Structure formats: C-alpha cells, structure tokens
Amino acid sequence: MTRLHFASALLPSGWANDVQVVIAAGAIAAVTAGVAPAAGDERHAIALPGLASLHSHAFQRGMAGLAELRGDSTDTFWTWRETMYRFALAMTPDDVASVATLLYVEMLEQGFTRVGEFHYLHHDRDGSPYADPAEMAARIAEAVEASGIALTLLPSFYAHGSFGGAAPHEGQRRFICSVDQFAALMTASRKVIAHLPGANIGIAPHSLRAVTPDELAAIVPLAEGGPVHIHAAEQVKEVEDCLAWSGQRPVQWLLEHAPLDRRWCLIHATHMTNEEVTAFARTGAVAGLCPITEASLGDGIFSAREFVDAGGIFGVGTDSNVLIGAADELRQLEYGQRLKHRQRNVLSGGAGRSTGRALFDGALGGGARALAQTAGGLVQGARADIVTLDTAHPSLAGRAHDAVIDGWIFAAGGAAIDCVWAGGRKVVEGGRHGLRQAARERFNASMRRLVA
C-alpha cells in the first residue's frame, strides 16, 4: 500500500486541499480531503489525474522530424505519407518494440498515463502475415509492460487504397487484412493484452478510404462492445473523394450510415459543415483531436468552438508522435482556435474561467470516454494514474489551482512535470522515467540502422 499526500489535488468535484490518496493493487483505494499529512505519507504539492493520448501510431515516432525536407511538388499530407510508408516497410518487430518503448516512456514523462494505440502495422515486410497474427501487437504490449503506461489496443482494419473498395497499393501491404484475417487478429490480440493490468481493446476501421460499408458492418461487432475509432475528414482531398464516391462528406456519411454513439471516436473530423458539427456533437461520440499532428501535416483547424458550444466531447492524441506532450497538444488546440478566430481564451467556456482548466477537463473526460474508462480522475476505484507538478518551476511559482494548470499548459510545458504514477507504480521521478536511458539507447540503435 502507498500513501500520498498532496497540498492540493484536482478531484472530480474540483480542487481540494490537503488530500491523502491511498493506493492499493494499482488502484486508488481512498481519497480523503482536508487531512494533515500522516507519518509515512509521501508528500507532494500538486496532483492531477493522468491524461490519455487517445490516438497514437507508435511506429511513426521513429520518423519524427524526417519529413521536414521539401519535395518537388507541393508538400502535403500525401507526400508525408510516402515517407511514412517507406519507414513502415523497413521496421522489424524488434524495431517496433524499441520505438514504442521510448514513445511510451516519453508519454509518461509528459503526463499521459494511457495510450489508445491505433495499430495497423500488422504483417511482415513482404506483406505476408506473421505465424502469430498478433506478432506486432505483442511488441506493443511488450513496450506497454516495460513502460507502465495503460493500453487501449485498437487493431486497425485496413483493406483498400481508396473509396469504393479500390485495390490497395504495394506500400500498404503490411496493413492489409480480409475480414476473416481481421477476426483472427482480434482473437490473437485479446490474448496478447490479457495479462496487461488495465488494458482493454476495441477496433479501428482505418477510414472510409480503407474500408467498404459492408466491411464496416462486418467488423463493428468484433469490438464486442469496446470502442470503435475511425479516421475521418482529415484532408480536403479525402472529403472531395468521399463526395465523388457517395455524394456525401465523410462525417455526413458516418452520421447517416454508422451507429455513432458514445463508443465511437472520430479521429480528426477536421473538415465539417456546421450541420455536421452539430449532428456529430449530439451523438455523444468523441472527437479525437491531434492538434500537433494536424498542424504538422497541414490538415486544417477543427471547429472546436462550435463543437464544444454544441455540447461535443473531445479528447487529444499524439497521432504521428512527431512531438510528445499533453500540455503541447492542449496549447496547440487553443492556439489554433485563437489564430482562426483572432481572439484569446476561445475554449475557456465563459468569462472568468481558466482556459487551461477547460482544456484539461475536456481532454480528461473525452479521453476516458473514447478509451472506455468508466472511472476517470482521482477517485476511489480508478486506476492510480497520477501526475504531480513542480511548483518550483518559474512558470508555476506562487500560483494555485487553475492558475497552475494555465502555467503548465501555456508556459512551462512538460518541464513542469515532476512525478508520475501509472497503475500505482511510480514510473517518473524528477521528470525522468526510470527506463529513459535504456529506452533511448535501444531506440537509437534501431534508428541508426533504419535511417541510414
């Protein structure tokens, strides 16, 4: 049993002072506010619940910063994707384990305690399935176990190169499954995560480009009640191609043909009409926003103000993993809105309210919903995922409560994170994960071979 005492902690009911949290068997056994620290309590200043990165493609961490050289034509998402395919085609299962391990170590150091791994690198380099269809998922699980992060595994179904069931192209060969292969992959993936504490599983139909309506209907039941994540309306070209195929825009098509509800998460949903924004918000499905990746890829800016005003639920993900940071994603989300609307504090939710707190609460609730976590936050019964902030950081000094969150998100960033407990295990201390050095060395060895 571990007993922690915080001078202040953000609880589901709001900020509380003098909070004791008891951890047993990886979960929060008790939360008591207004008590003096007892002998044997480990004392810290400020505690927040850990956030989820609800959308990650772990292997892409390996190509972070490698697609920043301008090509011959206009550089777009589609030229970035060619670099991504080349990189994906070269990686061995060991490379995936080393890249994912460093990524999850970095996520924990930055305040993410759960990852939604939208996993689509399934097959061997020539495109043939591994003897164990979940070989690559097992490497993700290995990284999860080593780092201590919680996993929501979202095996991705990917069958086509474009709308209307177009044949996939050669660069996609490691991603492609039939419905029967995918069913076998789901069975094998359930076994892979069975021993991981706090792990759960859903499915990820990749996008309407990669999945036909019949296939979508066939695979959704394979989630067995778990979350369903799909990329939607990330790029203008995707919207145009979807219109040419169906006469409808991607989100419009999903609203009409898919059973969108709280179990669903639409990743990006960047390009929507006002009607789509309102209808999507009403479904209770989560908008899985990846503001840094969306900026990196030149996708566009999500209609966050309108979506939140309509009651929509959002969470954040690190997606391409070009840069890892909970504060960075939330800051970019707000700054995109400021640039778009030429205003400040767009997502604060009203006069006198803290923008950082609104962003944090949104991402906490939306991340939990998208990854099917019932008990979120610092509450009895929840997984003990706790982040403390360093009040000696110059951007946090002298501040309390919401002003601390604003200081973290808008000024200090990840440098303000002190300790992180994941499933009750203290994995980060003084801002450093215990596995940082070993994970870097293993990652760097993979990179020297892959990048050369």
Among the listed residues 319, 329, 334, 390, the single contact to Zn ion using CB under 5 A: 319
Helix (H) or strand (E) holding 281: helix 274-283
Distance of alpha carbon 366 from alpha carbon 347, whole angstroms: 15
- Please report how close the Cβ of residue 111 comes to Zn ion at its closest, in angstroms: 20
Helical H runs in 51-92? 77-90
Nearest Cα to Cα of residue 110 among 328, 399, 291, 295: 328
Residue of this chain nearest to Zn ion (CB atom)? 319
Q: 48 has which bridge partners?
A: 387
* Smaller CB separation from Zn ion, 8 or 318: 318
The whole-angstrom separation of Cα 135 and Cα 422 is 25
Question: Which of residues 57 and 190 has its CB atom nearest to Zn ion in the complex?
Answer: 57
Contact 143, 435 (CB under 8 A): no
From the candidates 95, 241, 299, 319, give the one annotated as an active-site residue.
319
Nearest to 239 by CA among 227, 231, 247, 250: 250
- In the complex with Zn ion, the residue whose CB is nearer, 322 or 427, is 322
CB of 55 to Zn ion, least distance (A): 6
Point out the catalytic residue in the list 55, 229, 268, 393: 268
CB-CB contact of 113 with 419 (8 Å) = no
End-to-end CA distance of the chain: 48
Q: Does residue 238 bind Zn ion (CB under 5 A)? A: no
Residue 13: how many CB atoms within 10 A of its CB?
A: 9
Instruction: Kindly state the tokens that stand for 103.
Output: 């990524």
Return the number of the residue (251 or 435) whose C-beta is nearest Zn ion: 251
Q: Compute the least distance from the CB of residue 267 to Zn ion, in Å.
A: 6
44 noted as active-site residue: no
Task: Report, in Å, the least distance between residue 196 CB and Zn ion.
Answer: 22
Provide the 10 A C-beta neighbour count for residue 170: 9
The window from 85-93, 147-155, 156-164, 312-320 that contacts Zn ion (CB under 5 A) reads 312-320
* 134-142, 208-216, 319-327, 386-394 -> range binding Zn ion (CB under 5 A): 319-327
Least Cβ distance, residue 268 to Zn ion (angstroms)? 8
Active site residue 268: yes
99-138 binders of Zn ion (CB under 5 A) = none
Q: Report the alpha-carbon distance of residue 290 to residue 370 in Å, rounded.
A: 14
Q: Between residues 47 and 154, which has the closer beta carbon with respect to Zn ion?
A: 154
Give CA separation, 378 vs 14, 25, 232, in Å.
10, 15, 32
Alpha carbon distance 115, 200 (integer Å): 11
Count, residues near Zn ion per rule CB under 5 A = 1
Residue among 319 and 406 whose Cβ is closer to Zn ion: 319
Residue window 263-302: x/- pattern of binding to Zn ion, with contact defined by CB under 5 A:
----------------------------------------
| Contact letters for Zn ion, residues 428-447 (x by CB under 5 A) | --------------------
Our CB check for Zn ion shows the closer of 116 and 376 to be 116
| Half-sphere exposure of residue 117: CA atoms within 13 angstroms, side-chain side | 35
Residue 351, C-beta contacts closer than 8 angstroms, at least 6 positions apart = none
CB closer to Zn ion, 9 vs 322: 322
33 and 383 Cβ atoms separated by less than 8 Å: no
Smallest gap from Cβ 175 to Zn ion, in A, equals 12
User: How many CB atoms lie under 10 A from the CB of residue 310?
Assistant: 15
Count CA atoms within 13 Å of residue 18 on its CB side. 5
Alpha-carbon gap, residue 433 to 326, rounded angstroms: 16
Binding mask of the shown chain, residues 58 to 97, with x at each position contacting Zn ion by CB under 5 A: ----------------------------------------
Query: Taking the complex as a whole, how short is the minimal distance between the CB of residue 412 and Zn ion, in angstroms?
Result: 28
Contact region for Zn ion (CB under 5 A) — 214-222, 318-326, 384-392, 403-411?
318-326
In angstroms, give the least distance from the CB of 158 to Zn ion: 12
Catalytic residue list? 268, 319
List of residues contacting Zn ion (CB under 5 A): 319
